[in-house]
Amino acid sequence: MDRDKALRRTTAITGALVAASVAGTLAVGVAAHASSADEISTTTEAGSGSSDSGTTTSDWPQLSGGGSGDSGQATTGGS
Amino acid sequence: MPLVETLPVGADTAQWPVWGTTARIVVTDPGAVPAAAALVRAELAAVDAACSRFREDSELRRAGRAHGRPVPVSPLLAELVGAALDAARQTGGAVDPTVGAALCGLGYDRDFAAITGRRVAPAVRVFPAPDWRAVTLTSDTLVVPDGILLDLGATAKALTADRAAARVAERLGVGVLVALGGDIATAGPAPEGGWRVLVQDRPGDPSCVVRLPAGTALASSSTAARTWGRSLHHILDPRTGRPARPVWRTVSVAAFSCLHANTLSTAAVVLGHGAADLLGRAPARLVTPALDVLRRGGWPA
């Protein structure tokens, strides 16, 4: 009786581990899909162009666009 | 003419020529402009004396004449060289300060203002294997192997913008934007809505205006700026000793320091099609030679 009980418990634990593993694999897959999806949207600026829509994080500053007719206080060209 | 010179100079702004480009400062209190300009000029002069490769009396040139012997260096030069070596490390050598001799071999051997229109010899590579790992820096000692000429241009200008902005904000208690050519650093409080920056390389190129939050920075690197001779420009590919192939005409990157932004923008130009992996999620705008624009990392449309 004790042996059967222990066997059932072992089977249950193994099943839970397998389920957790599958869930983790799926989660990684979804995350990877979301990550690559960030790279494919397109927009244009002053002619043809493309862009990703990756969100900024606290690792990077969040820029905003100037309004129409907005002029610069400084210029970043190449130099 | 650098595009920046065409912008109006209001009561809150000062600008003047330096290092073959234009220094421009904007402050949140117009009354602080003279004092801010004086602080920035002092910072520029200190950096020039420390690391100009065009001045015989600079600390950097003296270190280069030591034939590989250890040379004591000032804290400023140690910081500048350290920043250049860090940039090399972070970019896998794409931004390499040991390209100085190769730049000289291409004709960029004096202040850029003296180069425009000058005839130069065909491109040659002066020595075969410049490598930043050959340079050794401790806290106050620098060893530059014989035959290597350091060029800190890619990182020194950006670090100078960071240092100057921080100094102005700390000393005067105002918000400030410091622009040195394509390198922009800010410190202190920003104007309402952020610092407005026109992003455009040459007149006629695609343009946009972005707003920078306080304490952020923006740098652009270009294969269309600082050009001379036959299709020569100032961003060298350390692997070849020649100007990087113009896969990108202009790369602009935003970060929390101008040094970081410039490291990424310069490396992106050098790496060409490999720039995407390096940039990751950094806000970036890349312009092709055909003037197509690619925006990444949340760069605003």
- Residues above pLDDT 90, as percent of chain B: 66
CA distance B263 to B218: 11
Q: Do A60 and B182 touch (CB under 8 A)?
A: no
Chain B residue closest to A57 (CA)?
A: B281
CA distance A7 to A13: 10
Q: Which residues contact B285 (CB under 8 A, 6 or more apart)?
A: B199, B208, B250, B251, B252, B293, B294, B295, B296, B299
SS3 B208: strand
Q: Which two tokens stand for residue B282?
A: 């950094």
The 10s digit of each residue's pLDDT in B62-108 is 998 898 999 999 999 999 999 999 999 999 999 999 887 776 766 66
Is the pLDDT at B125 greater than 60? The verdict is: no
Host H or E run for residue B154: helix B153-172
Residue whose token pair is 């804290």: B75
The 10s digit of each residue's pLDDT in B213-257 is 999 999 999 988 666 666 666 787 887 878 888 899 999 999 999
DSSP code at position A55 = P
The 10s digit of each residue's pLDDT in B150-180 is 999 889 999 999 999 999 999 999 999 999 9
Rg (CA), chain B: 18
Out of B199, B254, B291, name the one closest to residue A61 (CB).
B254
Out of B216, B220, B291, name the one closest to residue A76 (CB).
B220
Residues of A in contact with B216 (CB under 8 A): 61, 63
Is the pLDDT at B4 greater than 60? The verdict is: no
pLDDT of residue B204: 86
CA distance B34 to B32: 6
Q: Do A76 and B179 touch (CB under 8 A)?
A: yes
**From chain A, which residues contact B within 8 Å (Cβ)?**
43-57, 59-66, 70-79
Host H or E run for residue B159: helix B153-172
Q: Do B196 and A48 touch (CB under 8 A)?
A: no
Residue A39 vs residues A56, B247, B276, B286: alpha-carbon distances, Å: 13, 20, 10, 15
The whole-angstrom distance between B25's CA and the closest CA on chain A is 8
Residues of A in contact with B195 (CB under 8 A): 73-74
Q: Which residues contact B115 (CB under 8 A, 6 or more apart)?
A: B107, B108, B228
Domains of chain B are: 3-296 (3.10.520.10)
Q: Do A71 and B207 touch (CB under 8 A)?
A: no
Q: Which two tokens stand for residue B252?
A: 């602009």
CA distance B297 to B300: 9
Half-sphere exposure of B158 (CA within 13 A, CB side): 33
How many residues can be counted in chain A? Answer: 79
B89: nearest Cα among B133, B141, B148:
B133
**Helix intervals (H) in A1-79:** 2-37
B98: nearest Cα among B111, B84, B80:
B84
Q: Do A63 and B281 touch (CB under 8 A)?
A: no
Q: Do B221 and A60 touch (CB under 8 A)?
A: no
Q: Which two tokens stand for residue B298?
A: 């949340």
pLDDT of residue B148: 85
Residues of A in contact with B2 (CB under 8 A): 75, 77, 79
pLDDT of residue B301: 87
Q: Which two tokens stand for residue B299?
A: 């760069």
Residues of A in contact with B282 (CB under 8 A): 60
Q: Which of A43, A62, A75 to mutate to probe the B interface, most B CBs <10 Å?
A: A75
Partners of B141 in beta bridges = B72
The residue-averaged pLDDT of A65-79 equals: 79
- So where are chain A's domains? 1-37
The 10s digit of each residue's pLDDT in B11-41 is 999 999 998 889 999 999 999 999 999 999 9
Residues of A in contact with B277 (CB under 8 A): none
CA distance B147 to B128: 11
The whole-angstrom distance between B71's CA and the closest CA on chain A is 31
Out of B179, B220, B295, name the one closest to residue A78 (CB).
B220
pLDDT of residue B155: 95
**Start-to-end C-alpha separation, chain B:** 27
The whole-angstrom distance between A74's CA and the closest CA on chain B is 5
User: Complex ipTM above 0.95?
Assistant: no
Q: Are B252 and B265 in contact (CB under 8 A)?
A: yes
Indicate the average pLDDT of chain B.
Answer: 88
pLDDT of residue B53: 84
Please report, to the nearest 10 degrees, the dihedral formed by the alpha carbons of residues B141, B144, B146, B150 taken in order: -140
pLDDT of residue B232: 66
The 10s digit of each residue's pLDDT in A14-67 is 444 444 444 443 333 333 333 322 222 334 343 334 444 334 458 999 999 987
Out of B191, B225, B254, name the one closest to residue A63 (CB).
B254
